[in-house]
Structure 1
Amino acid sequence: MVVEGFIPEDCTDFAINLGTDEENFVLHFNPRFDLNGVKHKLILNSKVNNVGEEQRESFFPFMEGSDIMVCFQFALDKITIQLPTGNPFSFPD
């Protein structure tokens, strides 16, 4: 699956949510430019029956005022994520 969009200037964060509701989702993909004291981090979560895990990535290839394309490839036990810059990575890692 490919998701394309535009990151506006002064963006604090954005999210791509893949799931059925707030208690059950395969992936919450949340790049944070500056949100609640978290700066330039990529936060990933998943939940089943409101129980889940969080993964934080220190690389941050996103820029305000730019186009973005994120590719998600699904396997049985992980999601491979490809960003415009950098090598692919997996969730969970």
Structure 2
Amino acid sequence: VEPGPVANQQPVQISEHMVQLKGRILPDAKEFVVKLGQDPENLVLHFNPHFDPQKCRNTIVCNSKENGLWGEEEESISKFSFEQGGRVQLSFTFLPSEIKVLLDDDHEISFPNWLGLRVLKYMAVEGGFRIRALRFLES
């Protein structure tokens, strides 16, 4: 996954906010990743849609990372609303026990807040995705 924009060291109280990300998936994208957490070694969410038939085509893989160690992967294939070359809006809502990801088609994925993070200090977007807008909203 190619490196993309990274924002860090600007703490946001995640229990009170939603992160909204708008952008475009590149036409030849094999995958893209949104990383949210404390730093690159402590991620409350690693959100990773796959388009690559060699991997897990049309699958969303979610994971967490604590002190550099990956947690248990969760896959979602029931509703894959992404298209190569398409525009996307994702909303990440942070609750004490979970992160809810709202996709364009109003489909929602929930992932446990295994790390119990209350402050978001790090965000990175990598792979075949170009950011058009990023907003922090009160939930």
When the two structures are superposed, what TM-score results if normalisation uses the length of structure 1?
0.88
Cα distance in 1, alignment partners of residues 97 and 56 from structure 2 = 28
CA contact (8 A) 1:81 1:90 kept: yes
Task: Say if 2:58 and 2:80, in contact at 8 Å, map to a contact too.
Answer: yes
2:34 to 2, 9, 16: 16
Structure 2 counterpart of 1:2, from 16, 20, 36: 20
Write out the 4+ residue segments of structure 1 that deviate beyond 2 Å after TM superposition. 20-23
From the superposition, tell whether residues 23 and 91 of structure 1 become closer, same or farther in structure 2 (CA, over 3 Å): same
| Equivalent of 1:52 in 71, 90, 93 | 71
Cα gap change, 1:63 to 1:45, in 2 (>3 Å)? same
Separation in 1, partners of 2:53, 2:31: 7
- For the residue of structure 2 that corresponds to 1:53, the secondary structure is coil
Residue 44 of structure 1: how far off its partner (Å): 0.4
Q: Report the structure number with the largest CA radius of gyration.
A: 2
TM-score by length of 2: 0.61
Runs of 5+ in structure 1 lacking a partner?
Answer: none
Deviation at 1:16, TM superposition (A): 0.5
In 2: Cα distance, 1:25 partner to 1:46 partner: 5
Gaps in structure 2 of 5+ consecutive residues: 1-18, 113-139
User: Does 2:89 match 1:69?
Assistant: yes
Q: How many percent identity over aligned positions?
A: 37
* Contact 2:92–2:101, Cα closer than 8 Å, also in 1: yes
Report the AA paired with residue 10 of structure 1. D
Q: CA RMSD in A?
A: 1.5
Work out the number of aligned pairs and report it: 92
Amino acid at match of 2:92: F
- List per-residue Cα deviations over 1:8-46 (Å, max 9, x = no partner): 111100010112333210110000000642211000011
Q: Which residue identity does 1:56 align to in structure 2?
A: E
12-21 vs 75-84, greater mean Cα deviation? 12-21
1:43 to 61, 74, 82: 61
Query: Whose RCO is larger (CA < 8 A, sep 6+)?
Result: 2
